C-alpha cells in the first residue's frame, strides 16, 4: 500500500472515532433551548403514547465510551491503520504459518510412517486414504473436482488414462513438481481443409465414423506433423504428456469441433507443483490416494 493511501486510511479511521466521541458528548449535554427531562417533545402516537425529552441512561453512554476505548486499543495492538502493523506484530500470514507449524509438529510422526510405506501398500490403508482424501479436497478438488473426475481441461484421475503415466512414481512426480503440457497450433500450417482432414482422422482413431476421403488425407498429414508426439498409431507418449488419441479420454472434448479447435488454436495446460505447499510427506499420501482412485495394478503405466 502506498504512503498516501496508508495515511488516508489512518486519518479517516481516527477522524471517525473522534467524531463518534464528539457526537456522544454533544447529544448527552442539555441545550438551553430544550425543555426539562420531564417535558415532552410534542410527538404523540396512538392517542396516548408520548415521547419524553430524556437523556440516554448513563450506563448506555458508558458502553459507547467503552467501545471507543476498545477501538483505540485494538488499533494500537493490531493492524488496522494503513501500513501500521500494530505493536504486537500480528498478521493473518504469521497466524496461519504458526498454525501450520503446530499442525506439522503434531502430525509429523504419522506422516513419517506413511512416507516410509510404498504407495501401492499405502493405498490399501483406510486411515491413510481418509487423510489423503482430505488433502485432495483442500488442494486438488478445485481443479479435478471433489470426485476427482475432472472437467474440461482438467484430467480425470479416476480412470486409467494418464498423460504422464499412472505408476506410483509418475503420479508422485506430477504432484511434486507439476507438469506443463503444450499442444502447438497447426491452423496456419494445415489451413482450413487440412484441419478438417486431420480432425477427421483423429476422430476416427478410436473407431468412430468419419468421411473416408478426409480420413485418408488426414492420415498423411498426421504422419508429417503429429506422429513425433502422439506416435504412429496415435497412442500417445507419457514421456512428454502427449495424450492417447485412440481411447475415449479427451481432456478438451472429443467431438469433431473440439478436435478442430485444438488443431487450430493449440492447447496449454499446467499442473502446478505442490512440493513447496504440501511437503513431500503429504504429497506421498495424496499420491497414494490418487493412485487408489484408478484401481491400477502395481507398476501399471
Distance CA 89, CA 236 (A): 54
Residue 251 near residue 269 (C-beta atoms within 8 A): yes
Of residues 44 and 172, the one with the higher pLDDT is 172
- When pLDDT is averaged across residues 214-236 and rounded to a whole number, the result is 96
- When pLDDT is averaged across residues 36-50 and rounded to a whole number, the result is 72
Q: Residue 62: what are its φ and ψ, rounded to 5°?
A: -65, -35
How buried is residue 188: exposed, middle or buried, by Cβ count under 10 Å (0-12/13-18/19+)?
exposed
Residue 124 near residue 118 (C-beta atoms within 8 A): no
Q: Give 65-90 pLDDT, tens digit per residue.
A: 999 999 999 999 999 998 998 999 88
Model confidence at 50, in pLDDT bands (50, 70, 90)? confident
- When pLDDT is averaged across residues 167-184 and rounded to a whole number, the result is 96
In a domain, 299, yes or no: no
Place of cell 493473518: 92
- Counting residues of the chain whose pLDDT is more than 70, the rounded percentage is 92
Residue 175 near residue 287 (C-beta atoms within 8 A): yes
Model confidence at 167, in pLDDT bands (50, 70, 90)? very high
In a domain, 288, yes or no: yes
User: Does 104 score more than 70 pLDDT?
Assistant: yes
Whether 80 and 189 map to the same domain: the answer is: no
| Residues belonging to the chain | 301
Whether 187 and 267 map to the same domain: the answer is: yes
Distance CA 103, CA 230 (A): 44
C-alpha grid cell, residue 144:
479435478
- When pLDDT is averaged across residues 151-177 and rounded to a whole number, the result is 94
Whether 17 and 156 map to the same domain: the answer is: no
In a domain, 298, yes or no: no
User: Does 46 score more than 50 pLDDT?
Assistant: yes
pLDDT of residue 105: 82
In a domain, 73, yes or no: yes
Whether 287 and 149 map to the same domain: the answer is: yes
Nearest to 213 by CA among 191, 228, 227, 197: 197
Whether 152 and 230 map to the same domain: the answer is: no
Q: Give 4-13 pLDDT, tens digit per residue.
A: 999 999 999 9
| CA R_g for the chain | 33
In a domain, 34, yes or no: no
Residue 139 near residue 237 (C-beta atoms within 8 A): no
What residues contact 17, with CB distance under 8 A and at least 6 apart? 68, 71, 72
Whether 46 and 13 map to the same domain: the answer is: yes
Whether 202 and 82 map to the same domain: the answer is: no
Whether 151 and 282 map to the same domain: the answer is: yes
Of 50, 68, 90, the domain-final residue = 90
Model confidence at 298, in pLDDT bands (50, 70, 90)? very low
Residue 64: give the domain boundaries.
3-28+39-90
pLDDT of residue 51: 75
pLDDT of residue 264: 97
Whether 131 and 73 map to the same domain: the answer is: no
Q: Give 13-26 pLDDT, tens digit per residue.
A: 999 999 999 998 88
Whether 264 and 285 map to the same domain: the answer is: no
User: Does 33 score more than 60 pLDDT?
Assistant: no
Long-range contacts: 48-54, Cβ < 8 Å, 24+?
A: none
Q: What is the CATH number of the domain that holds 238?
A: 1.10.760.10
Q: Give 237-267 pLDDT, tens digit per residue.
A: 999 999 999 999 999 999 999 999 999 999 9
CB count in 10 Å sphere of residue 192: 10
User: Does 36 score more than 80 pLDDT?
Assistant: no
Of 90, 109, 131, the domain-final residue = 90
Model confidence at 299, in pLDDT bands (50, 70, 90)? very low
Whether 137 and 282 map to the same domain: the answer is: yes
Least confident of 40-49, 104-113, 157-166: 40-49
| Mean pLDDT rounded to a whole number for the chain | 90
User: Does 34 score more than 60 pLDDT?
Assistant: no
Domain count for the chain, please give it.
3
Model confidence at 139, in pLDDT bands (50, 70, 90)? very high
Whether 75 and 17 map to the same domain: the answer is: yes
SS (HEC) of the chain: CCHHHHHHHHHHHHHHHHHHHHHHHHHHCCCCCCCCCCCEEEEEECCCEEEECCCCCHHHHHHHHHHHHHHHHHHHHCCCECCECCCCCCCHHHHHHHHHHHHHHHHHHHHHHHHCCCHHHHCCCHHHHHHHHHHHHHHCHHHHCCCCCCECCECCCCCCCCCCCCCHHHHHHHHHHCEEEEECCCHHHHHHHHHHHHHHHHHHCCCCCCCHHHHHHHHHHHHHHCHHHHCCCCCCECCCCECCCCCCCCCCCCCHHHHHHHHHHCEEEEECCCHHHHCHHHHHHHHHHHHHHCCCCCCCC
Amino acid at each position: 500500500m502506498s504512503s498516501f493511501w496508508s495515511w488516508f486510511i489512518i486519518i479517516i479511521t481516527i477522524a471517525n472515532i473522534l467524531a463518534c466521541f464528539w457526537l456522544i458528548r454533544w447529544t448527552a449535554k442539555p441545550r438551553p433551548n430544550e425543555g426539562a427531562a420531564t417535558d415532552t417533545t410534542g410527538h404523540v402516537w396512538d392517542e396516548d403514547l408520548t415521547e419524553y425529552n430524556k437523556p440516554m441512561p448513563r450506563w448506555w453512554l458508558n458502553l459507547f465510551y467503552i467501545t471507543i476505548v476498545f477501538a483505540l486499543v485494538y488499533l494500537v495492538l493490531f493492524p488496522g491503520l494503513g501500513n501500521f502493523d500494530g505493536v504486537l506484530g500480528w498478521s493473518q500470514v504469521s497466524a496461519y504459518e504458526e498454525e501450520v507449524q503446530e499442525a506439522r509438529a503434531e502430525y509429523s510422526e504419522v506422516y513419517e510412517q506413511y512416507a516410509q510405506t510404498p504407495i501401492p501398500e499405502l493405498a490399501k490403508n483406510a486411515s491413510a486414504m481418509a487423510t489423503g482424501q482430505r488433502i485432495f479436497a483442500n488442494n486438488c478438488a478445485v481443479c479435478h473436482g471433489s470426485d476427482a473426475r475432472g472437467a474440461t481441461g482438467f484430467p480425470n484421475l479416476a480412470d486409467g488414462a494418464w498423460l504422464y503415466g499412472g505408476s506410483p512414481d509418475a503420479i508422485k512426480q506430477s504432484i511434486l513438481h507439476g507438469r506443463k503440457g503444450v499442444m502447438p497450433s497447426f491452423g496456419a500450417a494445415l489451413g482450413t481443409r487440412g484441419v478438417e482432414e486431420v480432425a477427421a482422422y483423429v476422430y476416427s482413431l478410436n473407431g468412430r465414423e468419419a468421411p473416408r476421403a478426409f480420413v485418408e488425407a488426414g492420415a498423411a498429414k498426421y504422419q508429417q506433423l503429429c506422429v513425433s508426439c502422439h506416435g504412429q498409431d496415435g497412442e500417445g507418449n507419457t514421456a512428454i504428456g502427449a495424450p492417447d488419441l485412440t481411447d475415449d479420454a479427451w481432456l478438451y472434448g472429443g467431438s469433431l469441433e473440439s478436435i478442430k479447435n485444438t488443431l487450430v488454436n493449440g492447447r496449454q495446460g499446467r499442473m502446478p507443483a505442490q512440493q513447496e505447499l504440501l511437503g513431500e510427506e503429504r504429497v506421498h499420501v495424496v499420491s497414494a490416494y490418487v493412485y487408489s482412485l484408478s484401481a491400477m495394478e502395481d507398476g501399471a503405466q
